Structure 1
Amino acid sequence: MNRIASDYWKPYESIIPQEKHLQTKAETFTVEGYNSLFRHFLARMRRKSKCCSKKAEMLELSVLLFMHYRNGTLISLISNAEYHSHFTLTGKIRERITYNRKTGKIPPIEDKLLFVLSYLENNPLQEYHVAACNMSQPQCNNRVCLLSDIQCRTLKTSGELPGRNHLKVNYLTEQCEDILPDGTERPIERPQDSDRQKSCYSGKKLIT
């Protein structure tokens, strides 16, 4: 190494031999520019960051991927993706961890109808359906939202959607010959307003 270039920071003068030391920004701005690019695009290279690399291999891969992106050579890297998906950088076979996931399948349409009707009628916790149908919590929530919407749109299209406004009872009794009332008692939150509390108060008192 014949010459060592640096900026005008004074501690460099006490470390680098004077005959090899070259203080100029003309030779350092390129390196500083690359350092700023790495710190801008790679979170693990930033200062005072919560992002860190637990393995040196991941740090090398991140820098390599960024360099290929900046140099426009990602195509050659993607062509070797099949190799790297099965082997590490050292040539060892990758060991992948497999998990036994719950499928949570409800194939027959009858089971889907029973699933959503039991949820709407009994209003149980989703843990009940998770255990009964052998599915995960996110799967249960997705199926409840999906099947409830399908059931609502189907009943509305066929004109069988139940009414939810008690003010329309008189209208229904006049227009319909047969009425099938079906109600489910569900708890309501205690209102904060005193007048609304009195209207929702059942009149029962706790005996102490």
Structure 2
Amino acid sequence: MMLNIEGALKQDRLLRALTGLNRKAFDALLPTFTTMYLDTQQAKPRQRGLGGGRKARLLTAQDKLFFILFYFKCYPTFDVAGLLFDMHRSQAHEWMHRLQPILEAALGQKMALPERHLESIEAFLSRFPGVQRVMIDGTERPIARPQEREQQQQNYSGKKKRHTRKHLEEQLMKPNGS
């Protein structure tokens, strides 16, 4: 049993549900991904002769691109990904780690990668000019159990089942950046 990739590629709604891309975007990314994949394959020497080893389940670059996009869209366990793509979970793990940098390079070349790290508030405001208020959510950090009962109740986290301090930061911003 293997996921019908060709069938998924023919149905735009299904393709978007499985990979996050429509057919036009998928087809636009495919040549860049293929080039990047072939470049990485040529950089490594073959470990086996031609025709040796197990027959690949992801035969074409299209199959490989579909697999890695599916993985990042749905985040299945390797057991589930292996079942859907008719391979062992260790092979699904290997394919994910092999294809991830290739996908990132292809998306970077297409200028489609999200910016994940902004250096300053000014950079944030230039990227998102209409923002007026930002809430930065933090984490609950454990603290020593307070001696006073009122402080104990105030700092007890039912979620963490211990005494914590909630580190939340809120910053107000005006549209002009000041």
Tell me the TM-score normalized by structure 2. 0.39
Q: Which structure has the greater CA radius of gyration?
A: 1
Greater share of strand residues, 1 or 2?
2
**More RCO (CA 8 Å, sep 6+):** 2
Tell me the TM-score normalized by structure 1. 0.34
